[in-house]
Structure 1
């Protein structure tokens, strides 16, 4: 019997997964009908006819909000290992508690730096969204205003 290491098992799973995907895609390519027409080749936009070009320029605020979100979301990547190390009883016991104090201080410094970044972004108005200013309609209705009185609550 052949014994496989942990890396060999992972390699077999990767090869099996890639083979499964390739066989499925190949079977789909062979079995599906190929009948292109104008409607199938058009741009698909949730079942609607596209209103404009897809090369539209987006407001830069979308990107700023996304970057700020990523900044504060990835902080967990750093905080989780700190929490694991901070809770390691052997390391804390070997250093008479200094390791725990160091880890906690380091975590607080990191959170303070992130909070300062948030204050900076907030103070510079990067979280403010430009709201449209609606203008009132100039339309003059032919229906007299008294006609709506019976529909008011």
Structure 2
């Protein structure tokens, strides 16, 4: 019984020592205002809060979401190729690619791919 208590105390001492060493090693030395401020996507936190929203940031965000969802749709399509009927799989994949190309053409035509105006 005494041996178990000594073992538990040794483990506790080792754990406390490790935790204090980790806090001293990884503690931030300087607290800067920019690092302490919350990060808002597309906004500078040091400026006025009533500034208009940047449509450029919104268009980049929408393009990212569209192409992200495109990858989510195409990956299972590729994985299911060997388990499906090739005629239906080919029809579905060609239709999906045509829809994506038409969407890209529409964005190009409306000037959403011009990053600077």
Q: TM-score range by the shorter chain?
A: 0.5 to 0.7
Instruction: Determine the structure 1 residue equivalent to 2:86.
Output: 100
Counterpart CA distance in 2 for 1:46 and 1:57 is 24
Q: Per-residue displacement from partner, 1:8-65 (whole Å, max 9, x unpaired)?
A: xxxxxxxxxxxxxxxxxxxxxxxxxxxxxxxx9xxx42379x6423453331121111
- Which residue in the other structure is 1:45 paired with? 34
- Structure-2 residue corresponding to 1:94: none
TM-score, length-normalised on structure 2?
0.56
Q: Distance in 2 between the 1:103 and 1:51 partners? A: 52
Partner of 1:85: 80
Distance 1:81 1:51 in 2: 43
Could you say what the CA RMSD is over the residues aligned between the two structures, in angstroms? 2.5
- Which runs of 5 or more structure 2 residues have no equivalent in the other structure? 1-30, 38-44
In the alignment, is residue 115 of structure 1 matched against residue 84 of structure 2? Answer: no
SS at match of 2:62: helix
Instruction: Tell me how far 1:68 sits from its aligned partner.
Output: 1.3
Q: Distance in 2 between matches of 1:119 and 1:102?
A: 26
1:63 matched to which residue of 2?
Answer: 58
- Runs of 4+ more than 6 Å apart: none
Q: What residue ranges of structure 1 are gaps of 5+ in the alignment?
A: 1-39, 92-98, 132-153
Cα distance in 1 for residues equivalent to 2:80 and 2:46: 54
Higher relative contact order (CA 8 A, sep 6+): 2
Q: Residue 103 of structure 1: CA displacement?
A: 0.6
| Bigger helix fraction | 2
Which protein is bigger by CA-based radius of gyration? 1
